[in-house]
Amino acid sequence: MIEWRPDFGDLYDGDWPHASEYGVGLRLDGLPKSKDGFIRLLMEYSCHPAAGERIYNRIEANGFDLLTVMARLPFIILADRLSIVGVKLSVIEPDLNWMKRFDDTTPYEAYTESST
C-alpha cells in the first residue's frame, strides 16, 4: 500500500494504490456549457489550451473523456468548479502510460488573446 494519497474527498473510496508519479485518472462526463470557459478553467490547473481543446472535443464526440493528470491537483475544488460549467468529475485508476507527448507549442498567451 502507498503511504501518500491525494485528497479526493468523496471522489474516490478506499486505498489509493498508486505512487504520485503515476498520476490520477479522471473521467469527465457532460458537455461543458462554454467551450472557451471550459478551456480557460482547465488552464488555471496547468492544462495547455491545445490539450483542453482535445478534451472538449472528446467529450463532445463521446459524452465523456478519460484522462490522467498530475497527482497534486486540488481535486475537490476542481470537481466543484467543473460542476458549475456542467461537467461531472470522477476519480478513476490512472493510465500508467500517461506521459504521452503532444505538440502543445502554441503559447498560452496566443490562446488567451484570441478568445477575449
Q: What is the pLDDT of residues 38-59, one digit of tens each?
A: 999 999 999 999 999 999 999 9
pLDDT at site 99 = 59
What average pLDDT does range 61-85 have in this prediction? 95
Give the distance, in angstroms, between the CA of residue 64 and the centroid of all CA atoms in the same chain.
12
For CA atoms 58, 64, 67, 73, the dihedral sign is positive
> Domain-by-domain residue ranges, the chain?
34-95
Amino acid 1: pLDDT: 52
Q: Work out whether strand 64-69 and strand 24-29 pair parallel, antiparallel, or are unpaired.
A: antiparallel
Q: Which contacts of 100-109 are long-range, i.e. CB under 8 A and separated by 24 or more positions?
A: 102/50, 102/51, 102/54, 103/50, 104/48, 104/49, 104/50, 104/51, 106/48, 106/49, 106/50, 108/43, 108/48, 108/49
Written as nine digits, the cell of 75 is 481535486
Mean of pLDDT over the chain:
84
The yes-or-no verdict on residue 28 having pLDDT over 90 is yes
Mean pLDDT of the region 55-82: 95
